[in-house]
Amino acid sequence: MQAAQKKRKRKDPAQPESPTGVHDVYQPADVA
């Protein structure tokens, strides 16, 4: 999970914590 969190922070610094978590990495627009 650490790798997913790192990718998340690197890809979406504006959304470090999403309700879906790893899903926002692939579809940040869908989550937002």
| Residue 7, both tokens | 């990718």
Could you report the per-residue pLDDT of 1-32, keeping only the tens digit for each? Answer: 566 556 555 565 565 565 555 555 555 566 55
Residue matched to tokens 């790893």: 22
Burial of 1 per CB tally in 10 Å (0-12, 13-18, 19+): exposed
Gap between the Cα atoms of 22 and 26, Å rounded:
8
**DSSP collapsed to 3 states, the chain:** CHHHHHHHHHHCCCCCCCCCCCHHHHCHHHHC
pLDDT at 24: 54
Task: Tell me the whole-structure pTM to 2 decimals.
Answer: 0.15
pLDDT at 27: 59
